[in-house]
Amino acid sequence: MTLHNNIGLVLCGGQSTRMGQDKGQLRYHGLSWAERAGWLLEQLHLPVYYSVNTTQLHTYPAHLSFIPDDARVQAAGPLKGLLSAHLQHPQANLFVLACDLRDMELAPLAHLQALHQENTVTIFTNDGQDEPLAGIYPAACLAARYAQPLSRHSMKAALQHLPVQRLPLPSKWKAAFANFNAPSDFPSPHGISYL
C-alpha cells in the first residue's frame, strides 16, 4: 500500500447504546479511544480523519479532522461511516480502524498495510470470521459497493460483494481484536478503565 491517496479513518460514529456513553471518548493509557486509534494510523504515515455522527461534532477536540455521517448514505453503523468517507474522498483508499478495538497494536495494522493488494479489500479472519473493522478499503471497491443496493447494512454483508484478501490472524494478535461494546466486556471487575 503506497502512501499516495490513502487516508486513515477512525470509526467512532456509533450510538454507543450498550456502553451508555460515547466509546470514542473513553480514556485508556492517557488517550481517548478515538485518539489512540488515530495515533496508530498516524504511525503508518496516513493522514487521519474521524468518522462521527452529527451529534458528536461539538464534543470532540476541535483540532481533529472529521467526516460526519452523510445523510445520502442509506446505511447504518460502521458502514455508514465508511461510505460517508468515500463520498467525501472518492479517490482515496481508506484504512479503517474502529475506536472500540481498544487493545489494537501497531504490528497487525502494519502487516495489513504491507500485504495489501491493489483494488482489493484487505482484512484479517479470526477463526474463520471476518474482522472488517480494521482493514483497507480501496476507492474502486467502495465505488462498486456504493453503486449496489444495500439489503443488509453491515460491513460483513458488504464484503460479500467485494474482492477481499483475507489474512489469517496469528494467535499473537488475537487480543488486539477484542471488541468493547458494553461495560460487561471489560476484564476488570470494576468495568471500564479510565486510566
| 150 pLDDT more than 60 | no
Model's pTM, two decimal places? Answer: 0.87
d(CA 193, CA 123): 28
Residue 69, C-beta contacts closer than 8 angstroms, at least 6 positions apart: 13, 51, 52, 53, 54, 80, 81, 84
d(CA 176, CA 159): 22
What is the average pLDDT across 35-58? 94
DSSP structural state of residue 23:
G
Instruction: Using pLDDT thresholds of 50, 70 and 90, give the confidence band for residue 126.
Output: very high
C-alpha distance across the termini of the chain, in Å: 34
d(CA 44, CA 49): 14
Name all domains of the chain by residue range, CATH numbers in brackets.
Answer: 6-185 (3.90.550.10)
What is residue 9's three-state secondary structure?
Answer: strand
Higher pLDDT, 188 or 89: 89
What pLDDT shows up at residue 151? 55
